Structure 1
Amino acid sequence: MTGQPRQGSLEDPSQILRLLPAKWHEQFLSEYRGALDAAHEVSRFPQLRDVLHLWRLRAAAYSDPGYDQALQATRDDRTDEFVPAEQAITAWFDRRGSIDP
């Protein structure tokens, strides 16, 4: 068994790089290498999984053709262009009952 993700995994660094727009490659690789270094300590191995998971989610968002427009809409506070989180992720809110901790 190796420390590498299984082939075909959504969190495979090579798949993340393929999906991720080129302008994000350097930042991803820097964080990935840092997490790899940290993973040499058994107690810090989860950091590698977290970095890969977060960057997989980012790659999906950043590669979406509408991402830059949505980002600009948030900067411009055009809230009429967004769906409230309560409507978008109803199952999560139903389990919690509210968004308050």
Structure 2
Amino acid sequence: MTAQPLHGSPDDPAEILRALPEQWHEQFLSEYHSALEAAHEVWRFQQLREVLHIWHLRAVAYSNPAFEEAAQAVRENRTDEFVPADHVLPGWADRQ
């Protein structure tokens, strides 16, 4: 499956699934169904929204053709190939 750009609501599970590379479908559906079940409790509805938002962001990242190469650079600590978060996100170092 070729990743497609997201249309409509970015947190729509159908849109996320459509954009997400197939290798991630099972994990997404598992987490989505768990969060959906939890959302039957009104006080846990936010959990569903958070799962959908995180998976939307993952779909954008994972569908980028350069993602796997960049992830490998991070795993191998090839810092010359990426910009550390603390260099571009103010206060990032204070969050750790």
TM-score, with length taken from structure 2: 0.84
Q: How many Å apart are 1:58 and its aligned residue?
A: 0.5
Unmatched 5+ stretches in structure 2? 1-6
Amino acid at match of 2:93: I
What SS does the aligned partner of 2:93 have? coil
Task: From the superposition, tell whether residues 100 and 88 of structure 1 become closer, same or farther in structure 2 (CA, over 3 Å).
Answer: closer
Superposition pairs for residues 8-47 of structure 1, below 5 Å?
A: 8-47=8-47
Q: 2:61 maps to what in 1? A: 61
Q: Distance in 1 between matches of 2:65 and 2:40?
A: 37
2:44 and 2:79 map into 1 onto residues whose CA distance is 39
In 2, Cα distance between the equivalents of 1:83 and 1:99? 14
Shift of residue 99 of structure 1? 2.7
Unaligned 5+ runs, structure 1: 1-6
Give distance in 2, aligned partners of 1:35 and 1:80.
38
Q: How many residues align?
A: 89
Instruction: Provide the alpha-carbon RMSD of the alignment.
Output: 1.7
CA separation of 1:76/1:88 partners in 2, compared to 1, >3 Å: closer, same or farther? same
Distance 1:54 1:79 in 2: 25
Structure showing greater radius of gyration is 1
1:81 deviates by: 0.6
Distance, in Å, in 1 between the alignment partners of 2:88 and 2:79 is 14
Cα deviation 1:52-72 (Å, max 9, x = unaligned): 000000000100000110111
Look up the match of 2:93. 99
Percent of aligned positions that are identical: 61
